[in-house]
A and B are shown apart, each in its own frame.
Chain A
């Protein structure tokens, strides 16, 4: 019927609009990253001739030092911070979901409070202390504050997730003859793993995104992560803008995000929204 065709068309148009909305700026900077210095000044959207020069610059060229070390820092620090956050949050969320102990609400409340904390408010004292105890400009000096970003959200997501696990299965498995460890491993771990994994992705996004700690608590290439390093890029000469190199670097650090999103969009959405809106 004509009505359905019309609504169908309407939704298709809406979908195209959403796609355009989501991807347009990404495509714009993607196009930038393939432009020659000449094209970067011509105010066009697409390059007139595609070049890999910008990528060469950050991987093997003069920006190599700056970018590759920053990339190594980013990957290392983010992965370690994510891993520690997920392990600690898993233990914590297990306790919250399964055990009844005084202070349970305190822990959840603290997580909530920490998550609304303005990072900039704590960065000054940290800056101070880190300089005194030698954590300034080190990996560990970033990993610790990153935990304050990733722990709260991980604890919340995981405790919501763990609450939905039918823990009786563990008992059932024991009745069926499994040892306590077997019961946990065979019955609970397979159910909990997807939640832990989803949490890890979300924690990764957050740590990967950090900028304030990155520029405040580092001063050299020893620990500076990519977002902070991008602000320190310079052009090939004093009079040249580093637009191409920054665009290329931006695309490189966006790739992991896009890959994770493509592979796990369903899990990420459910992790983000789980229990967020209890009537």
Chain B
């Protein structure tokens, strides 16, 4: 991946020394002319607002009463951290993140293995099928799952009424346990293909010979998988898990559509939305936004420091690391 870095000096090598720096300067200028617009836009739409959010979060500020704006320093944060109304969404978000990522990892591995090992003739079909959940709009996925389980129009109660606890009267979205289950199911359905594709790419990079060698060395199927295949695709697994965890922590669409935060299913993103957009409590809403952002940073930090996820290698390897459902 360094060939690009190499090719540039190679073309410069013939030049004499003083000219070299001239040329390098021109290259720098051209580089920034080309990369600049994208860079500026990305920063303008993210760095500036998050700075603004940090600033706003230090004020008591309602958009409906702009003149009452006053500096309260950390009061908004103190209010949050002492309120169950913040901690509950926080814990729900953590729960959803942990459960969905864990389930998706297992399910994603299963999907990846099927695609990896499936007969050649089926591969294209499977890839096409699996891309449908990936490409579908999250809101559409939320509605699809909502209607399946809905007490009026859903067929799930009808089909599974033979299971204990399920009957025509079961309203899935009226209590926390069932509601969060359906929310997570929808999230898992939509985003597992992404993990599966990353894992599939990882699987493809484990040489067949290694697995064969393990076979000859006396490994069972399971041993071949977890002693040889998994350790050799650790990088792919960690990257997939990290990006999915970051993504899951920002869950919004599914909850908004299915329960709107009812039945205690409110998540952090929804809390921030309700505070600032619905109630126009810019100060408090910004504080929630900043906390959410801090959580995402923390997840990244933990992943990089503790689990040694090498994002820097991503800068060289390029590509799919930044791929996500785009739910945001």
Q: Name A's B-contacting residues (CB within 8 A).
A: 8, 11-12, 14-15, 17-19, 21-23, 25-26, 28-29, 32, 40-41, 43-45, 88-89, 91-92, 94-129, 144-145, 147-149, 151-153, 155-157, 159-161, 163, 167-168, 202, 205-212, 215-216, 226-227, 230-231, 241, 243, 246-247, 250, 253-254, 257-258, 260-262, 265-266, 268-269, 271-279
Contacts and interface: CB of A to CB of B under 8 A. Distances in A.
A218 to B, nearest CB: 11
Contact of A120 (B135, B189, B197, B289): B289
Nearest to B246: A116
5 contacts: A28-B147, A91-B35, A216-B273, A230-B139, A279-B235
Given A41-B152, A118-B269, A152 B311 contact: no
A17 to B, nearest CB: 8
B214 interface: no
Contacts, number: 397
B106 interface: no
Nearest to B326: A206
Interface of B: 1, 3-5, 7-9, 24, 27-28, 30-32, 34-35, 37-39, 41-43, 45-46, 48-50, 52-53, 56, 63, 111, 114-115, 117-119, 122, 124-141, 143-145, 147-148, 150, 152-155, 157-159, 168, 186, 189, 193-194, 197-198, 200-202, 205, 232-233, 235-236, 239, 243, 246, 249-250, 252-253, 256-257, 268-269, 272-273, 276-277, 282, 285-286, 289-290, 292-293, 296, 300, 311, 313-328
Contacts of B323: 153, 156-157, 202, 272, 276
B35 A266 contact: no
Q: Identify whether the interface residues of A are mostly helix, strand, loop, or mixed.
A: helix
B322 A153 contact: yes
B41 A151 contact: yes
Contacts of A156: 314, 318-323
Q: Identify whether the interface residues of B are mostly helix, strand, loop, or mixed.
A: helix
Contacts of A109: 315
B153 A277 contact: no
Contacts of A260: 135
A123 B50 CA distance: 9
B44 to A, nearest CB: 8
A144 B41 contact: yes
Contacts of B130: 18, 22
B117 A11 contact: yes
Contact of A212 (B131, B150, B273): B273
A102 B143 CA distance: 47
Nearest to B237: A277
Contact of B198 (A99, A202, A241, A277): A277
A77 B38 CA distance: 18
Contacts of B148: 25, 28
B205 to A, nearest CB: 6
A14 B114 contact: yes
B181 to A, nearest CB: 15
B153 A243 contact: yes
A195 to B, nearest CB: 11
A6 to B, nearest CB: 13
Given A100-B9, A231-B257, A112 B320 contact: no
Contacts of A208: 137
Contacts of B253: 211-212, 227
A186 to B, nearest CB: 20
A156 B239 CA distance: 15
B320 A98 contact: no
Contacts of B150: 243
Contacts of B327: 209, 211-212
A11 B137 contact: no
Contact of A128 (B134, B236, B273, B282): B282
Contacts of A152: 42, 322
A210 B326 contact: yes
A276 B201 contact: yes
Residue in B7, B122, B319 with the greatest tally of chain A CB atoms within 10 Å: B319
A168 B143 CA distance: 51
A269 B197 contact: yes
Given A205-B135, A261-B131, A273-B198, A25 B35 contact: no
Nearest to B196: A18
Contacts of B137: 208-209, 211, 226-227, 250, 253-254, 257
A36 to B, nearest CB: 12
Contact of B144 (A15, A28, A43, A120): A28
B316 A124 contact: no
Contacts of A25: 133, 141, 144-145, 148, 186, 189
A167 B1 CA distance: 13
B318 A160 contact: yes
Given A92-B34, A121-B292, A209-B325, A277 B135 contact: no
Contact of A110 (B8, B43, B256): B43
Contacts of B5: 100
Given A115-B324, A209-B326, A151 B42 contact: yes
B24 to A, nearest CB: 8
Contacts of A129: 49, 52
Contact of B56 (A112, A120, A125, A271): A125
B38 A151 contact: yes
